[in-house]
A and B are shown apart, each in its own frame.
Chain A
Amino acid sequence: MLSVLLASGVANGLLYGLVALGVVVLAKAANAFNFSQGDVMALGGFVSYAVIVTMGYGSVAALPIVVIVALFVGVLSYLLLRPLMDAQHAVALLTATIGLSFLVKGTIRLIWGRQGDYFAVPPLVSGPPIILFDGAVIIPLQHLVMSGGAVLMLALFALFFRFTRLGLFMRSVADNPRAARIVGIPTELVLCSAMVLSLVVSAVAGFLLAPATLIFPDMGFSLFLKGFAAAIIGGMMSLPGAVIGGVLLGVTEVLVSGYISSTAQELSAFVLIFVALIFFPRGLFGGRSSRSV
Chain B
Amino acid sequence: MKLFSQIVGVMLMTTALAVPAFAQDVQGVSDTSIKIGTFGPITGANYAFGRLTMNGLETLFADVNAAGGVNGRTLELVRVDDQCDPAGAIAAVRKLIFDDQVFAIIGGSCSNGVMAAKEDIEQSGIPFVNFAAASNNISAPEIENIFTSMLTSNLESALQAQYLSDLGVKRVAVVAQHDAWGSDRHKTLLPALAEKGIEVAVDEELSMEANDATAQVLRVQGSGAEAVVLLSYPKPASIFLRDAARLGFTSSFIGTSVIPDPVAFDEQVAVPGATDNFVTISPSRYALDSAEAAEWLEKLTTKFPDDEPHTYNLYGITAGQLTVAALEQAGADLTQASFIAALEATSGLETTFAPGPLNCETHQCLQAAAWIKRTPEGKTEVVGLSTLD
Contact = CB atoms under 8 A, between A and B. Distances in A.
Interface of A: 1, 4-5, 7-8, 12, 109, 113-114, 116-123, 126, 128-129, 138, 140-142, 209, 212-214, 216-218, 222-223, 254-255, 257-258, 261-263, 265-266
A123 B239 CA distance: 12
Given A120-B267, A262-B216, A12 B235 contact: no
A120 B269 contact: yes
A129 B248 CA distance: 9
Contacts of B247: 4, 129, 138, 140
B235 A214 contact: yes
Interface size bracket, B side: 20 to 34
A8 B238 contact: no
A contact patch SS: helix
B206 interface: yes
A4 B45 contact: no
Nearest to A217: B45
Nearest to B268: A120
Interface in B50-70: none
Contact of B238 (A109, A118, A258): A118
Contacts, number: 91
Given A212-B211, A214-B235, A217-B45, 8 more contacts: A12-B211, A109-B45, A117-B235, A118-B238, A140-B246, A214-B268, A223-B211, A257-B216
B212 A118 contact: no
B222 interface: yes
A266 B207 contact: yes
Contact of A4 (B210, B211, B214): B214
Contact of A254 (B45, B47, B214, B246): B214
Contacts of A216: 235
Given A8-B214, A118-B238, A120-B268, A129 B219 contact: no
Contact of A5 (B46, B218, B246): B218
Interface of B: 45-48, 178, 204-207, 209-212, 214-216, 218-219, 222, 234-235, 238-239, 242, 246-248, 267-272
Contacts of B204: 262
A5 B215 contact: yes
B270 A122 contact: yes
Nearest to B220: A262
A141 B246 CA distance: 8
A262 B212 contact: no
A258 B206 CA distance: 12
B239 A4 contact: no
